[in-house]
Amino acid sequence: MSRLSVVIPAYNERATVHELLRRVAAAPLPDGMELEMVVVDDGSTDGTRELLGELAAAGDPMPFRLILHEQNGGKGTAVRSGLAAGSGDYLLIQDADLEYDPREYRGLLAPILEGEADVVFGSRFLGGPHRVLFFWHSLGNRALTMLSNMLSDLNLTDMETCYKVFRRDVLDGVELRSKRFGIEPELTAKMARRGARIWEVPISYRGRTYAEGKKIGWKDGFSAIWCIIRYNLLP
């Protein structure tokens, strides 16, 4: 039986993390595949940490591995911890904020299970249903994706997507360094440099507003530019 490890970085997501875990636990998976959840609390201060401890002790909604960071290190730090801890044959990154729908897992896994891909990106820009929100965020995402494509020689539509799925072996020996949202261009660049077969599939997307807890800002955009250059061009 194969295993899917879902890596869930969480920082100050008390309002959504329990529902997210419930949705992940209920997500339909391909036949013969079991689920492992690896949750990384990245130094939350809003009660997320305590709630996750209670849920882990109770096995609610199912047993999951909980990793606690004493201080907030950023999304990249949490993703790195989760990927290192996951024991599955396949690893998938899932944000804890309900923007991405775990019911997409089968579609995300399909190109890998069919032997066509080593890595799959879930694209928010390939026609899936989505909540209508910020024009400038959309434009910024497309600009960063274009720059990444120019340097990596890929033709992705959504480099910044959270939904990235990996065969375990394609990550073996890959050293990740990003601490914050630079983890997205770093993973993309290193998979391209490794020669991994990368596919995209359309996904739905329910973006949230800053009032609802969105954390990424304009400073992260400039940081992403540096990460794209660094991980594509520098040793």
Report pLDDT for 213. 52
d(CA 105, CA 59): 22
d(CA 106, CA 128): 15
What percent of the chain is modeled with pLDDT above 90? 83
Give the DSSP H/E element, type plus range, for residue 9: strand 2-10
The number of angstroms, rounded, from the C-alpha of 212 to the middle of its chain's C-alpha atoms is 19
Tens-place pLDDT, residues 179-226 = 998 999 999 999 999 999 999 999 999 875 555 555 566 677 788 899
Range of weakest confidence among 1-15, 61-75, 142-156, 204-218: 204-218
Buried b or exposed e, range 140-163, using 16+ CB within 10 angstroms: bbeebbebbbebbebebbbbbbbb
Block residue for tokens 């599955």:
88
d(CA 145, CA 22): 32
Higher pLDDT, 223 or 131: 223
* Residue closest to 147 by CA, chosen among 224, 220, 200: 224
Helix H segments across the chain?
Answer: 17-25, 48-58, 75-85, 105-113, 135-152, 168-171, 183-194, 218-233
CB 130 within 8 A of CB 204: yes
End-to-end CA distance of the chain: 38
Q: What is the mean pLDDT of residues 28-54?
A: 98
Q: What is the mean pLDDT of residues 123-139?
A: 71
Range of weakest confidence among 51-60, 86-95, 212-221: 212-221
Cα–Cα–Cα angle for 9, 13, 16, nearest 5°?
Answer: 105
**HSE toward the beta carbon, residue 17, CA cutoff 13 A:** 29
* Residue closest to 168 by CA, chosen among 1, 37, 2: 2
Report pLDDT for 150. 97
Compute the mean pLDDT over every residue in the chain, rounded to the nearest whole number: 92
Q: What is the CA radius of gyration of the chain?
A: 17
Report pLDDT for 235. 75
What percent of the chain is modeled with pLDDT above 70? 91
* Domains of the chain in sequence order: 2-233 (3.90.550.10)
φ, ψ dihedrals at 158, nearest 5° = -150, 80
